[in-house]
Amino acid sequence: MPSIFKEGTYDSGSYARTGTLSLNGIQIETPIFMPVGTRGSIKSLTSEDINELGYNLILANTYHLYLKPGKEVFDHFHGLKNFMSYKKALLTDSGGFQVFSLASLFKFEDDGVRFQSHIDGSYHKFTPSSVIDMQRSIGSDIMMVLDDCAPYGSDTKRLELALDRTHRWAKESYEYWMENPNGQNVFPIVQGGVNEALRLKSLETLQKIDFPGIAIGGLSVGEPRPEYIRILECMAPHLDKARPRYLMGVGTVVDILEGVKNGIDMFDCVLPTRNARNGQVFTSKGKINLRNESHRLSESPIDSECSCKVCQTYSLGYIRHLHKVKELTAFSLSTYHNLFFMQSFMEKMRKSIEIGNFRAFYEHWKNLFGS
């Protein structure tokens, strides 16, 4: 199977690199941040907004889309991209993490996990093949395997059990996917908590299988940042150069910096969009709380160095007012700005790697957003 990833430039002082991800004719420059459209929509934005912002790859959630609107709808509309009028690339997770974190009850079985919907308590079951089938219906360009993400703080026995399930299900997923690849790609998910030996064991086991890429799960799930960095650093020298590496659910500026420094190519997180709806925006000077009284009479934009249409049009004082009176427009304007910021931030990071200035870039943004 042809490779979907082409390496670009490496930073001489770290594992940071640029590259190009090719998904069914769509070219995506890496490192990349993917906005999260959990239920088939990036909250408060339209698909036209996403195209305007220049995002060629977004994420949706299999668990939520499986429950509503369901597989039948996606089969009828020939996939989520047609359904939501978004024509670029799509990545979906398997829904396993949401089963463990949202479902009111779940139980592991040999061939999968049985759970109750967090919406109505109805019973369902995910298996390695059923989540691939669901993602086939969604029409994902990149699908995730079903895995077992043990919660932070799990003991060694629980982590080893999670690895056994994760590896077994990954092999089953690969074999099932290979029966009909259909232009879609599947990534396995490295687990192991903050146990270095188990992380390396999981990485080695999964990289022996000919998956198009590799994902890393179970980080940024409550562990202290030094633990997060330690695990990234232990894996970095062992990551396959020929495949894209995706760090799941990571999206703070500082965590992305650490990820890129350690060879990660792909990131996703709800944080930029969720924080925007809660009145926090990201700027060239750091984070701003839009609801602060100090902004009440401000005629300045959110960020004087930002060229997004929000900063070119609206004052900080006006957007603060919208948040204070809970106008829905506040959500869309703040979200648009934050996703413009993330897109620009990643573009500047790629440039810094290309020109050999990543270390200075890393230090500058870490100092700004490190608190």
Contact between 195 and 163 (Cβ < 8 Å): no
11 marked among binding-site residues: no
The active-site residue out of 93, 141, 255, 303 is 93
96 marked among binding-site residues: yes
Distance between CA 109 and CA 3 in Å, rounded? 34
- Return the residue matching tokens 């990660």: 264
Least Cα distance to 92 among 268, 220, 214 occurs for 268
Q: Is 107 exposed, middle or buried (0-12, 13-18, 19+ CB in 10 A)?
A: exposed
317 marked among binding-site residues: no
Distance between CA 37 and CA 60 in Å, rounded? 5
Least Cα distance to 162 among 122, 203, 197, 191 occurs for 191
Query: Given the DSSP bridges, would you call strands 185-187 and 142-144 parallel, antiparallel or unpaired?
Result: parallel
Q: Which residues of 24-46 are buried (b: 16+ CB within 10 A; e: fewer)?
A: eeeebebbbbbbbbbebebbbbe
| 247 half-sphere exposure, CB direction, 13 A CA radius | 29
Helix then strand then coil, % of the chain, to nearest 5: 45, 20, 35
286 marked among binding-site residues: no
370 marked among binding-site residues: no
Q: Is 268 a catalytic residue?
A: yes
The active-site residue out of 11, 148, 268, 303 is 268
Q: Is 265 a catalytic residue?
A: no
269 marked among binding-site residues: no
49 marked among binding-site residues: no
The single-letter DSSP state of residue 293 is G
101 marked among binding-site residues: no
Annotate 204-237 with DSSP letters as a single string: HHHHTS--S-EEE-S-SSS--HHHHHHHHHHHGG
Question: Can you say which residues are annotated as belonging to the binding site for substrate?
Answer: 93-97, 147, 191, 218
Question: Can you say which residues are annotated as belonging to the binding site?
Answer: 93-97, 147, 191, 218, 306, 308, 311, 337
Question: Can you say which residues are annotated as belonging to the binding site for Zn(2+)?
Answer: 306, 308, 311, 337
Residues with a known catalytic role = 93, 268
